[in-house]
C-alpha cells in the first residue's frame, strides 16, 4: 500500500518531535500539519529560520495573530518558548513542530 504525500510529510514532522524528545498529541499535530498546506511539502518552507526577524514577524502576524488570535507580549512569549523548546542553536526548526509548540503554549490546540 502506497503512503500518501501527507502521511510521509507527517511522519517526517513527527520525527522532528521525537528527535527533540518532545511529546505531541498525534491528532492535534496532524491538524497543525494539515493547516500548513503546501509549505509542509516544500523543502525551504518546511523549516523556520528563527534568526530571521522578517520570518518571525510573518509568523507572529499570520499564524499567531491571524489563526490563533493572539497578539502582543503573549505572542512574543509563545514564539520564544518554541525557539527554546526546539533549541536556539538548532538550525532546523520544523515548521509544524514550531507552530504546534506555539499553539500548545497559548492553549490553542483546540483550533486543530
Distance of CA 22 to the CA centre of its chain: 13
Tens of pLDDT along the chain (112 residues) come to 677 999 999 999 999 999 999 999 999 999 999 999 999 998 889 999 999 999 999 999 999 999 999 999 999 999 999 999 999 888 889 999 999 999 999 999 999 9
Q: Are 32 and 100 in contact (CB under 8 A)?
A: yes
d(CA 61, CA 102): 13
pTM: 0.93
Q: Are 40 and 13 in contact (CB under 8 A)?
A: yes
Closest CA to 32 of 17, 18, 19: 17
Q: Are 46 and 40 in contact (CB under 8 A)?
A: yes
Does the 5-111 domain belong in CATH 1.10.238.120?
yes
Q: Are 36 and 99 in contact (CB under 8 A)?
A: yes
pLDDT at residue number 1: 63
d(CA 94, CA 47): 5
Number of neighbouring beta carbons within 10 Å of residue 82: 22
pLDDT at residue number 79: 97
Amino acid at each position: 500500500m502506497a503512503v500518501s504525500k501527507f502521511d510521509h510529510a507527517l511522519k517526517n514532522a513527527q520525527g522532528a518531535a521525537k528527535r527533540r524528545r518532545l511529546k505531541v498529541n498525534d491528532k492535534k499535530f496532524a491538524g497543525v500539519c494539515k493547516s500548513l498546506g503546501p509549505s509542509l511539502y516544500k523543502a525551504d518552507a518546511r523549516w523556520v529560520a528563527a534568526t530571521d526577524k522578517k520570518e518571525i514577524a510573518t509568523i507572529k502576524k499570520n499564524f499567531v495573530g491571524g489563526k490563533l488570535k493572539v497578539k502582543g507580549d503573549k505572542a512574543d512569549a509563545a514564539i520564544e518558548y518554541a525557539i527554546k523548546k526546539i533549541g536556539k542553536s538548532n538550525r532546523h526548526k520544523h515548521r509544524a513542530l514550531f507552530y504546534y509548540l506555539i499553539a500548545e503554549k497559548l492553549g490553542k490546540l483546540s483550533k486543530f
